[in-house]
Amino acid sequence: MFLVSLVLVASLWELYKFLGPEDGGEIFGWPVLPRTGARSMPHTWEMVQRLFDPEVRGNDRPIWFAVAGYAWYTFRMALAGLIIGSVFGVALAVVMSRFRVIERGLLPYVIASQTVPLIALAPQFAALGGNWDLPKWTWVAALGAFLAFFPIAISTLRGLSSPAPASLELMDSYAAGWWVTLRKLRFPSAVPYMVPGFKLAATAAVIGVIVSEVSTGVRGVGFAALTYAQAATSDPAKVYAAVFGAALLGLAMFGIVVAAEAVVMRNRPRDVAA
């Protein structure tokens, strides 16, 4: 079914290219119709074909190979960011669960962080990282961690508070301490809540890393997209290679989380989901 929808999208693209105005058009005076000229909107098969051509004229490396390299670089930074962000996010959630005062003090900020563009701080990370003589990729990964941290903290905290009162009473009746209750009850209860948090965090880390590349010039897939786009007048299909690379990267990150979910939730009742 997924393949069918991909084909549909491709055909819609071609259909529009066939029908649409060459130089872009207007609806009620709004310039909302894209240009369909060969420069702006290459054919889908041209995009695929371009994947196998060399990256730069005179260079032997086919573009798909180059893009794969960039995507791999971005992937590693995003993954590092996700892992670091999860460690801190879970730790903070545990601390907030233990000390209600800290929860009340920090939670509003953590929630508010979901509504503001944290990416705005990317240049600040770059400045600090540059000063401490750290290689560029570390602070890009750090930004990814920063972005991944918040959704994980929120969802983990929510999950840690999820056990039924009867279960908490049960652990009380066993005279089990806070730490034991955390390990045996709160944490396993939290897992179904953490999964959507991790999915959000994975996406956030990827986007964060890609956007940082743009401002720091680190050579990942975001950088590639921007550079290729600048060459678009002469080489329109090239930028789509970067887009495909970014797409695969995002799917790979998502896939990792989904695979982890399958392992971690294997004994749980199936959700009656949409």
Between residue 234 and residue 263, which ones bind another protein under the rule CB under 8 A? Answer: 236, 239-240, 242-243, 246-247, 249-251, 253-254
CA distance 268 to 274: 17
Site string for another protein, 110-149 (x = CB under 8 A): --x-xxxx-xxx-xx-xxx--x------------------
Size of residue set near another protein by CB under 8 A = 96
CB of 104 to another protein, least distance (A): 4
Task: Give the C-alpha separation, 273 to 29, whole Å.
Answer: 44
Max Cα distance, the chain (Å): 76
Q: Binding of another protein at residue 228 (CB under 8 A)? A: yes
CB of 60 to another protein, least distance (A): 26
Query: What are the backbone dihedrals phi and psi of residue 227, each rounded to the nearest 5 degrees, phi first?
Result: -60, -45
Rg from Cα positions in the chain: 23
At residue 215, φ and ψ (nearest 5 deg) are: -90, -20
Q: Is 18 in the site for another protein (CB under 8 A)?
A: no
Pick from 188, 217, 259, 260 the residue near another protein by CB under 8 A: 188
From the list 73, 64, 55, the residue with the least C-alpha distance to 210 is: 73
Closest to another protein by CB, 60 or 219: 219
List binders of another protein among 193-222 (CB under 8 A): 193, 195-196, 199-200, 202-203, 206-207, 210-211, 214-215, 221-222
Is 24 in a helix, a strand, or coil? coil
Determine the Cα–Cα distance for residues 271 and 274; give it in Å rounded to an integer: 9
Residue list 21-80, contact with another protein (CB under 8 A):
24, 30-32, 34-35, 39-41
Cα(156)–Cα(94) distance, integer angstroms: 8
Q: Which of 9, 12, 87, 134 binds another protein (CB under 8 A)?
A: 9
